[in-house]
Amino acid sequence: MSVEQSNYIKLIAMITMLIDHIGLVLFPDQIILRIIGRISLPLFAYQLGIGYIHTKNLKKYMLRLLLFGVGVQLLYSVGIYYLRVDRSPGDFNIFFTLALGLAAVYSYDKGKYIYLLLTIMAPIMLSYIGINPDYGLYGIMLILIMYIEQKNLIRMAVFITAINLIYCFYSPEQSYIQAFSVMAILFLIKPLYLRFNMPNWAFYLFYPLHLAILYLISIAL
C-alpha cells in the first residue's frame, strides 16, 4: 500500500471516529452517528498492522502508544466523571488496546505463541481488577485479524463478521451496532490516492484534541 493510500485510510478513520464521538458526547439518541463510527476501529486496526510492518523501531512505537494512552486517560476520565459519558471509571482508552494489539501482532509474527496467548487473555485478566481497555479482547482480535488477513479482504470480512457476532452476543445493550464495522472493508478494497502527506503524529494529536473540544461544547450546552 502506498503512502497516499495509507493517508486516505487514516483520514476516513479519523472522520468516522469524530462522527462516532459527536454521537457519543453530544447526540446520544442519534444511533446513526454511532453506526457510522463503527467504521473507524477496523481502519485504525489495519493501519496498526501497516505501521508494524514499516516501523524502524518497534520499542519506540509501543512506547508512543503507551505514553499517549497515559496522557489521554486523564481527559478520558473527565468525560466519565463530569460529563456522564457512557463509560465506567475502570475503562481505559483505545491507546492501551492498540498497544496490546501491537504486542499481539509482534508475538504472532515472531512465532511467540505463549506471549500471544497471554496478550490476548490480558483484557480478561485485567477485568478482574476493574481495568477494561476499550473494546478489550474484541479489539485485540480485530487488530490481529486485520494484520493476518491484510492481503485477503474476503477472508478478513468473514472473520470480522464472525467476531462481531460473538461480540454482539456477549456484550452489553446496543452492542449490535458493532456489526456495522464490517463496512470498513469497503474502504480497503481500492483506497484512494490523497495528494497530501499526513504526518504520523496526526492521529496522536487529533484524538485528545477532538475529545477536548467535544467536552467543552458539551459543557457549554
What is the number of structural domains in the chain?
1
- DSSP 3-state helix, strand, coil percentages of the chain (rounded to 5)? 75, 0, 25
Do the beta carbons of residue 149 and residue 155 sit within 8 Å? yes
Q: What is the per-residue pLDDT for 88? A: 64
pLDDT per residue over 119-145, tens digit each? 999 998 988 888 888 888 999 999 999
Q: What is the per-residue pLDDT for 86? A: 58
Do the beta carbons of residue 38 and residue 95 sit within 8 Å? no
d(CA 137, CA 149): 18
Q: What is the per-residue pLDDT for 199? A: 75
**Tens place of pLDDT for every residue, the chain, 221 residues?**
676 788 889 999 999 999 999 998 889 889 999 999 999 999 999 999 999 998 989 999 999 999 989 888 877 776 655 555 556 667 888 999 999 999 999 999 999 999 999 999 999 898 888 888 888 899 999 999 999 999 899 999 999 999 988 888 777 666 788 889 999 999 998 877 777 777 777 888 888 888 888 888 887 77
What pairing do the DSSP bridges indicate for beta strands 132-133 and 91-92? Answer: parallel
Q: What is the per-residue pLDDT for 176? A: 81
Compute how many other C-beta atoms are within 10 angstroms of the C-beta atom of residue 14.
19
State pTM to two decimals. Answer: 0.88
Q: What is the per-residue pLDDT for 221? A: 77
**133: part of which helix (H) or strand (E)?**
strand 132-133
pLDDT per residue over 24-37, tens digit each? 888 988 999 999 99
Its domain, for residue 113, covers 3-220
